[in-house]
Amino acid sequence: MKRALKVAVAAAALGMSGLAAQAEGLKVGFMATLSGPPAALGEHMRDGFLLGVKEAGGKLGGLDTEVLIVDDELKPDAALTKVQGLLERDKVDIMAGVVFSNVMMSVYKPIIQSETIMVSANAGPSPIAGKACSPYFFSTSWQNDQNHEVMGKYAQDQGYKRVVVMAPNYQAGKDSISGFKRYYGGEVVDEIYTKLGQLDFSAEIARIADAKPDAIFTFMPGGMGVNLVKQFSQAGLSDKVPFLSAFTVDETTLPATQDTAVGLKSGSQWSSTLDNPANKAFVAAFEKEYGYAPSLYASQGYDAARLIDGALKKAGGKDDKQALIAALREAPFESVRGDFKFNTNHFPVQDFYVVEGAKRDDGKYIVKVVEKVFDDQGDAYAAECTLK
Amino acid sequence: MSATLLAVQTLNGLQLGILLFLIAAGLTLVFGVMDFINLAHGVQYMLGAYLAVAAYGVTGSFWTAMLLALAGSLVVGLALELVVFRHLYDRDHLDQVLATFGVILFLGEAVKVIWGSSPLSLPVPDLLSGSIPISDGLLYPVYRIALIVAGLLIAALLYVLVTHTRVGMLVRAGATNAPMVSALGVNIRRLFMVVFGFGAMLAGFAGIMAAPILAVEPGMGDNLLILAFVVIVIGGIGSIRGAFLAALIIGLVDTIGRSAATDIARLVLPPAAANDVGPAIASMLIYILMAAVLFFRPSGLFPARAG
């Protein structure tokens, strides 16, 4: 009996402190993939976001901020359960994060149905950019097709006549190829689809060498990309066949691929070499705080925190949700990627670049800008979105 | 597909097969001799790679790193045997699967805590860093050839050990009937420990050899473990010879299948459909092969217990 009473008191105390926090502070639910092979992506994004919160003195928009970090395990069902916990039990004010599109698609409905603001720091599946868009959803990354389109446009501009494309055999892999083809008009001599999670690409590399293309385009995130880049270079192809990619050469894979990825191209909206004051401050602060070079995922996480901070300040707090949404739409912050404004579907209108792997003077590997491909580019689905 | 491409793919297939053999050899010995299902074998492969990367970071020499990582793999293998596996030999397979799965989770997480979850890499040693031009525009890395040679040497060594030494005889006898060997006065526990340590070291060796061509990351052993189980099931559980031949067959079927399936599908289907069907069939091929082998020869191609 006595114990039951104690528990009740403790619960009441907890409940009260919860209430108190709700009245004064800001609760942000941050979901990222933090286990399994792609965990590095989630860690970069999380570290970027937390740096943004820290630089705001732990107070986004002047409100004491509590960030509840949850691991989605790259399992849509587990993610759904955890998001429901965040929404109903923890009563978070804002949701942010999410690396993978399949996870996003599973948590999107409950979040927007509860009229909670969601700031995606990575995943940008086409339905959310198009028909299923929502006033509560904002993205500080891109629509999924865009980084692939960058490479398609680049291949076209470079005058590559024959290209081999290769991607894992799943939805995002096929979307990647169709994104590439949207801007590439030359001949695709071979389309290779590999098993998701494949380790050895020697068979595919032999095929590529045999086809003698002007360039290859590939989408191999995480460890697959590391394996492909190393093996591509060991087969002596990196000097002969231009390597165009998306989400394959970045600061999450460069520590492993090192010199073998130097000069390999990728499409991106950000690089640590972009010359603007916000970016310089971000890169310096990030490396000081965490000791490793930030990737585009880190920059998107950081921008998400800064967007929330700026919008809360502009709206004068979190209580008037419509005012907050209106403030978010104006993107009241300096993005580390330079130009940034929201399209009608709440995805960014931004510049895209071709970047390539490079070794910095201090020995760290980063991607540096080669050239700008798109200026103030929106995505292909915004017209389908009914938001105005 | 041209003749040179076929030759290159055959080499690739051999090399994948050799890698699988190195992992499957330890697995089949432990499973065959001790009747013990060790799901953590893939983790031992991963540890070999991580230890090599760590040792390389300290010593800066691939060869010293390899020796240190081999010793480390042996120590970890023996420690696991002593702390966990020893208590499971008399339990049923489900307990073994649960406990060794726990070891996977524990060591997988430990690796992440120590080394982080970003993929790491081990550079190819200078001695083996060149490549040989095979056809116009395609070089074959010397390191991959070295991997094939190393694997063949290990296979020969195992063959001699198993068929021409006293320990090998006991191992074969143990695979056929362990209680009888024990009744004849052989310290079966010690034999188990030797086999186990050796198996762990082979898995570690596979990890070290794979580190320069594959990403060193948490969970790198999980996919290969499944393939290794396919190998030992096809080869016949407990049979080194079976594991060797089955590993080469799997390596060749998988590699050539991946390379040719789409082309073959294009002969009978429109290109768009062939792009869907080809890769799907290629990733199923080895499992179809396994099902066929199990249907015609339920105890594998070279069963150790064939009497």
Q: Given its phi and psi angles, is residue A338 left (phi above 0), alpha (psi -120 to 50 degrees) or beta?
A: left
pLDDT exceeds 70 at position A239: yes
Closest residue of B to A259, CA-based? Answer: B123
How many inter-chain contacts (A to B, CB under 8 Å) are there?
135
Determine, for residues A200 and B213 on separate chains, whether the beta-carbon distance falls below 8 Å: yes
Determine, for residues A230 and B121 on separate chains, whether the beta-carbon distance falls below 8 Å: yes
For residue B307, the model assigns a pLDDT of: 36
Q: B207 — contact with chain A (CB < 8 Å)?
A: no
Question: Do A2-142+274-342 and A146-268 come out as alike in CATH topology?
Answer: yes
Q: B168 — contact with chain A (CB < 8 Å)?
A: no
Q: B111 — contact with chain A (CB < 8 Å)?
A: no
Sign of CA dihedral B80, B84, B87, B88: negative
CA dist B122 and A84 (Å) reads 42
Per-residue pLDDT reduced to its tens digit, A318-352: 999 999 999 999 999 999 999 999 999 999 999 99
- The interface residues of chain B toward chain A in range 30-69, judged by CB-CB distance below 8 A, are none
Residue A333 DSSP code: S
Average pLDDT value for residue range A90-111:
94
Residue with tokens 């390379």: B259
For residue A11, the model assigns a pLDDT of: 46
Helices (H), A132-193: 146-157, 171-183
Per-residue pLDDT reduced to its tens digit, A127-162: 999 999 999 999 999 999 999 999 999 999 999 999
Indicate the pLDDT class of residue A5, thresholds 50, 70 and 90. very low
Per-residue pLDDT reduced to its tens digit, B108-134: 889 988 988 778 888 888 888 888 887
Percent of chain B with pLDDT over 90: 40
pLDDT exceeds 70 at position B268: yes
Closest residue of B to A33, CA-based? Answer: B117
pLDDT exceeds 70 at position A85: yes
Choice between A79 and A234, residue whose per-residue pLDDT is larger: A79
For residue B206, the model assigns a pLDDT of: 93
Sign of CA dihedral B137, B141, B142, B145: negative
CA dist A47 and A36 (Å) reads 17
Choice between B117 and A238, residue whose per-residue pLDDT is larger: A238
Q: Name the residue ranges covered by the structural domains of chain A.
A: 2-142+274-342, 146-268
CA dist B207 and B216 (Å) reads 9
* Residue of A162, A187, A210, A247 to mutate, interface with B, max B Cβ within 10 Å: A210
Mean pLDDT is lowest, of A22-26, A79-83, A95-99, A194-198, for A22-26
Per-residue pLDDT reduced to its tens digit, A27-53: 999 999 988 778 889 999 999 999 999
Average pLDDT value for residue range B249-278:
83
For residue B175, the model assigns a pLDDT of: 73
Indicate the pLDDT class of residue B135, thresholds 50, 70 and 90. low
Q: A171 — contact with chain B (CB < 8 Å)?
A: no
CA dist B96 and B36 (Å) reads 7
Closest residue of B to A43, CA-based? Answer: B117
Average pLDDT value for residue range B102-112:
91
Mean pLDDT is lowest, of A148-152, B173-177, B202-206, for B173-177
Cβ neighbours of A182 (radius 10 Å): 15
Q: A147 — contact with chain B (CB < 8 Å)?
A: no
Indicate the pLDDT class of residue A181, thresholds 50, 70 and 90. very high
Mean pLDDT is lowest, of A271-275, A380-384, B139-143, for B139-143
Determine, for residues B121 and A200 on separate chains, whether the beta-carbon distance falls below 8 Å: no
Residue with tokens 């599109």: A101
Phi, psi angles (nearest 5°) of residue B90: -90, -5
Average pLDDT value for residue range A179-190:
93
Indicate the pLDDT class of residue A2, thresholds 50, 70 and 90. very low
Residues of B in contact with A32 (CB under 8 A): none
Check if the beta carbon of residue A217 is closer than 8 Å to that of residue A152.
Answer: yes
Average pLDDT value for residue range A223-252:
90
Q: Tell me the pLDDT of chain A averaged across its residues.
A: 90
For residue A275, the model assigns a pLDDT of: 93
Residues of A in contact with B15 (CB under 8 A): 202
pLDDT exceeds 70 at position B306: no
Closest residue of B to A222, CA-based? Answer: B119
Per-residue pLDDT reduced to its tens digit, A48-81: 999 999 999 999 999 999 999 999 988 899 999 9
Residues of B in contact with A215 (CB under 8 A): none
CA dist B194 and B217 (Å) reads 28
Determine, for residues B215 and A230 on separate chains, whether the beta-carbon distance falls below 8 Å: yes
For residue B304, the model assigns a pLDDT of: 65
Q: Tell me the pLDDT of chain B averaged across its residues.
A: 87
For residue A15, the model assigns a pLDDT of: 44
Residues of B in contact with A195 (CB under 8 A): 279, 282-283
CA dist A209 and B259 (Å) reads 12
For residue A120, the model assigns a pLDDT of: 96
* Single-letter residue type at A4: A
Determine, for residues A210 and B131 on separate chains, whether the beta-carbon distance falls below 8 Å: no
For residue A21, the model assigns a pLDDT of: 42
For residue B228, the model assigns a pLDDT of: 92
Q: B144 — contact with chain A (CB < 8 Å)?
A: yes
Q: Name the residue ranges covered by the structural domains of chain B.
A: 9-216
Phi, psi angles (nearest 5°) of residue A341: -145, 160
Cβ neighbours of B135 (radius 10 Å): 16
Check if the beta carbon of residue B286 is closer than 8 Å to that of residue B250.
Answer: yes
How far does the CA of residue B166 sit from the closest CA of chain A (Å)?
Answer: 38
Average pLDDT value for residue range A243-256:
92
Joined tokens for residue B205: 């060796």
CATH number of A2-142+274-342: 3.40.50.2300
Determine, for residues B220 and A199 on separate chains, whether the beta-carbon distance falls below 8 Å: yes
For residue A234, the model assigns a pLDDT of: 85
Per DSSP bridges, beta strands A162-168 and A215-218 are parallel
Phi, psi angles (nearest 5°) of residue A138: -130, 150
Closest residue of A to B257, CA-based? Answer: A203
For residue B118, the model assigns a pLDDT of: 78
Which of B281, B274, B261, B292 lies closest to B9 in space, CA to CA?
A: B261
- The beta-carbon neighbor of A191 closest among B124, B136, B275 is B275
Closest residue of A to B139, CA-based? Answer: A235
Which of B118, B114, B103, B110 lies closest to B216 in space, CA to CA?
A: B118
How far does the CA of residue A206 sit from the closest CA of chain B (Å)?
Answer: 7
Indicate the pLDDT class of residue A17, thresholds 50, 70 and 90. very low
CATH of A146-268, one of 3.90.1150.10, 3.40.50.2300, 1.10.10.350, 3.40.50.12280: 3.40.50.2300
Residues of B in contact with A235 (CB under 8 A): 131, 138-141
Residues of A in contact with B16 (CB under 8 A): 200, 202
Q: Please give the sequence-ordered ranges of beta strands (E in DSSP) within chain B, or none if there are none.
A: 131-135, 138-141
Which of A268, A153, A125, A151 lies closest to A218 in space, CA to CA?
A: A151
* Residue of B45, B46, B111, B138 to mutate, interface with A, max A Cβ within 10 Å: B138
